[in-house]
Structure 1
Amino acid sequence: MHPAFTVTALGARVRVVIEQGALSAAEYDELLGLWEWCGSRAGDDPSAVDATIRRTIRKAGVAPQLSRGDAPWRASASFSALADRLSADVTGAAIEAVRGGLLMLHAAALADPATGRVLAFVGPSGMGKTTVSQRLGRRLAYLSDETTGITDDLAVEPYPKPLSLRLLADGRPKRQVTPASLGLMPAAERSHRLHRVVVLDRRDDAPRHPRIEPLSVTQALAAVTSEVSHLRSLDRPLQRLAAVCAAGGGAVRVSYRDADDLAGVLDEILSRDVTAPSWRAVDTSVVTDAPQIGGRAVRRLPSDDAVADGAGLAVFREGIVHVIAGIGPSLWVAARRASTIDELAATVVSEFGAPEGAPAEAVVGAAVEELVAGGLLEWVKS
């Protein structure tokens, strides 16, 4: 019998199976302890889990033994490498298990222990999410240092995984440490709700005092869509993400040098109760009747979702979020049915007035070519 344990990650139950004899009893207990805050429980009940991970230590010249029908063992060279790889494996398995349900941000999540308000600190790898969790997680409850799962009604699913600390930038496995060993605050048994998305912008040339920049919904979409897992799997994907970006008065970008500096602006981010930025869903239907215009026209391509605000328009097409501004939104909306450049130019002039320095048709023609190249519009002929 191979030793196994289960953990709860993003609301999913993930089963971890370790090849018999791959770890010592002490190493197995250490691995189990790393996942204590995720409800790690020794035992093997494959019928009650959402995903299974099989791990072993690679022994020179010895192939892992498999039973018929088993998935292959994923081998690591050492215990530290196994623990490091397991963190990514559990996260990946949980994301797959809940895709289409939770909106999942590549973000650290910390909660006000008094109110349950959650700040989601979004950023790519290396932007400081784990460091932010370490520095602020003694004052705020630690929910995750990597992946934040958000429901349709903005509830946050805790995932207090071990923290992954890179000690040396030489390719060695990251060290896995328990939240308790870092003195982080555990989350209380209560509901947690997203209060605000915080886009991390860590730069050496940032001001000494962190700068907070409010973002419109479409600006926030442009900043965070690359940090969303399986956005295409969601129903109304951009509308779900727009609601997240508008939560608590809207997303903010924080430019800072060091995570310690963020403590000074934490109260401002948490307590700021302003009116949520407005946004609206936009009709994505396309009139596909053959154009009766006797010449060349342009029409928008089918898309999955679209939202707009005063700053621009975001369109979700074939898994890509396109954020456009200026006259682009008006052109895309008008191109629901095939329209000539002259017709689109008349629309732009009626909304924005005549452009200076160039004919409206030339300005619109150049903008249309950009939208065609971007995969949002297509040329059609009658």
Structure 2
Amino acid sequence: MNEDYVIDAFGARWSLDTRELDAGARERLHVLWERCRVRGLGARDVGVEPFLVTDSDPYAVSREITLASLRRRRGSAVLLHAAGVSRGDRAIALVGQSGAGKSTASRVLGRHFGYLSDETVAIEEDGRVAPYPKPVSVITDPAAPWDKGEWSPDELGLRKASEPAYLTGLVVLERDPGRTVPELVELPLVDAMLAVIAQSSSLPLLDRPLHRLAELASGSGGPYLLRYSEIGDCVELLGALLDPDAAGSRSERHPWTSTPPVPNSPDGLIVRAPWRDAVHGDGGTLVLIDETPVRLGPVGEVLWRVAAAPMSRDAAYAAVVAALGEHPDAARAVDDGIATLIELGLLHAPTAP
């Protein structure tokens, strides 16, 4: 490549320096990354950084570009390890759990919808999905799942996405080879958030990260769980989410208001410890402590809620009973709950044994 070759990887722009590759490897790289190329930009333009390509393995290059781009975009966008497809200005992100292939979903769904990415969906603050139509990584030998080949979206016949596209649905994939009929169901918000957080990058660096993720997850009536055997059987179900007339109600959620931490609690009292963010919605309450999300059970949820100001353990016990009802083991459950929340860093009790 004699001219500057600039690509855009979900908002991170790179000028690929391929001088160390032979002519064949350079030409193959050109074919693979053509969908991401930004014509008219040069290596010296604002926002473009150099990227030295030394490996002739296309899959290794793809991983290096993705990781470098994640480092550049951390803290500025919601970064999901997910596949993305769109129709018009509507986009959905497909988050794969174990056994659910994002690349397979991209290859199949991308023939029906616009192909955004097979592995990284970046959502900007306004909800726009920054496209990353990179070459698709495909396992060529089931016995060696980490040894993947690369094919360009054009070689695979994937449709080009319209821009801009905004996230209107978040879908957690659950592949079950024994299932005969696919099913798309609403997923409790907190369940979905935990699944998505496990497949996200640098989420705690964002401002109010749980709130931002909850807003994205609850679009179009979601979040959703897709149970399926073959992703090709799901085109109609997912197409309904991309229908311009699809506008379901959002899952109920309630933000918690942050209060300044109390540095010292009087003897025998408990109080909330410092925390980053928290969301209450379908499925319970999720609290972010530093970079760790913690899901609260019924007792813990009551304890954490009422401990916004210092309170005695007797008062905490009364609050739990008032909220959940009398129980023969209530005292032990409250004591265990307080101990667990202190251990997790959610409650502060300097003089607690």
The TM-score with structure 2 as length reference comes to 0.91
| Number of the residue aligned with 2:148 | 174
Mapped contact 1:5–1:42 kept (Cα < 8 A): no
Percent of aligned pairs sharing the same letter: 30
Are residues 1:103 and 2:103 paired? Answer: no
From 212, 218, 222, the counterpart of 1:250? 222
* Aligned with residue 29 of structure 2, among 14, 28, 31: 31
Q: Aligned ranges for residues 64-83 of structure 1 at < 5 Å? A: 76=55, 79=56, 81=57, 83=58
What is the correspondence of 1:1-382 to structure 2 with a 5 Å cutoff? 5-18=5-18, 20=19, 22-39=20-37, 45-56=43-54, 76=55, 79=56, 81=57, 83-112=58-87, 115-124=88-97, 127-168=100-141, 169-170=143-144, 173-188=147-162, 190-205=163-178, 207-271=179-243, 272-288=246-262, 290-292=264-266, 295-355=267-327, 357-358=328-329, 360-381=330-351
Cα displacement string for residues 316-349 of structure 1 (whole angstroms, at most 9, x for unaligned residues): 1111111223122221122223333211111112
Which range moves more in the overlay, 154-163 or 22-31? Answer: 22-31
Q: CA deviation at 1:373?
A: 2.8
Match of 1:73 in 2: none
In structure 2, list runs of 5 or more residues that go unmatched. none
Write the distance in 2 (CA, Å) between the matches of 1:51 and 1:296. Answer: 57
The RMSD of aligned alpha carbons is 2.4
Q: Distance in 1 between matches of 2:138 and 2:65?
A: 17
- Would you say the 8 A contact 2:84–2:92 is kept in 1? yes
Q: Which amino acid aligns with 1:366?
A: D
Are the aligned partners of 1:32 and 1:40 in contact in 2 as well (CA < 8 Å)?
no
Contact residue 261 and residue 274 of structure 2 kept, 8 A: no
Query: How far, CA to CA, are the matches of 1:363 and 1:172 in structure 2?
Result: 46
Sort the Cα spacing of 1:172 and 1:336 in 2 relative to 1 into closer, same or farther, 3 A: closer
Q: Aligned with 2:311: secondary structure?
A: coil
Cα pair distance change 1:261/1:220, threshold 3 Å: same
3-state SS of 1:118 partner: strand
Aligned amino acid, residue 110 of structure 2: G
Q: Give the 3-state SS of the residue equivalent to 1:288 in structure 2.
A: coil
Assess, with a 3 A threshold, how the Cα gap between structure 1 residues 153 and 289 changes in structure 2: closer, same or farther: same
How many angstroms does 1:149 deviate by? Answer: 0.8
User: Residues 286 and 301 of structure 1 are in contact (CA less than 8 Å); yes or no, is this contact kept in structure 2?
Assistant: no
Q: Which residue type is aligned with residue 68 of structure 2?
A: A
Task: Describe the shift of the 1:128–1:171 C-alpha distance in structure 2 as closer, same or farther (beyond 3 A).
Answer: closer
Which residue of structure 2 aligns with residue 61 of structure 1? none
Any conservation in 1 of the 2:14–2:50 contact (CA below 8 Å)? yes
C-alpha deviation, 1:279, in angstroms: 1.2
CA contact (8 A) 1:3 1:43 kept: no
Which residue in the other structure is 1:69 paired with?
Answer: none
CA distance in 2, matches of 1:372, 1:30: 56
Match of 1:315, SS?
A: strand
Is this contact kept in 2: 1:140–1:185, CA < 8 A? yes
Tell me, in whole angstroms, the C-alpha distance in 2 between the residues paired with 1:332 and 1:131. 42
Larger radius of gyration: 1
Q: Distance in 2 between matches of 1:183 and 1:289?
A: 60
User: Equivalent residue of 2:204, what SS?
Assistant: helix
Gaps of 5+ in 1: 57-75
Task: Give CA deviations for 1:280-312 in whole Å, capped at 9, x if unaligned.
Answer: 2202324516434xx433322211111112431
Distance (whole Å) between structure 2 residues aligned to residue 201 and residue 125 of structure 1? 8
Q: How far does residue 55 in structure 1 lie from its aligned partner after superposition?
A: 2.5
Q: CA deviation at 1:39?
A: 1.3
- Per-residue CA deviations over 1:226-262 (Å, capped at 9, x if unaligned) read 1111112111111111111111112101111222222
Q: Alpha carbons of 1:322 and 1:109: their partners in 2 closer, same or farther (altered >3 Å)?
A: same
Offset at residue 371 of structure 1 (A): 2.0
Cα 1:50/1:349, change in 2 over 3 Å:
farther
Identify which range, 278-287 or 24-33, moves more after superposition: 278-287
Task: Give the paired residue count.
Answer: 349
C-alpha separation between the residues in 2 aligned to 1:361 and 1:286?
Answer: 29
Q: 2:265 touches 2:349 (CA, 8 Å); kept in 1? A: no
Kindly state the Cα deviation for residue 50 of structure 1 after the two structures are TM-superposed: 4.3
CA offset at residue 167 of structure 1? 0.3
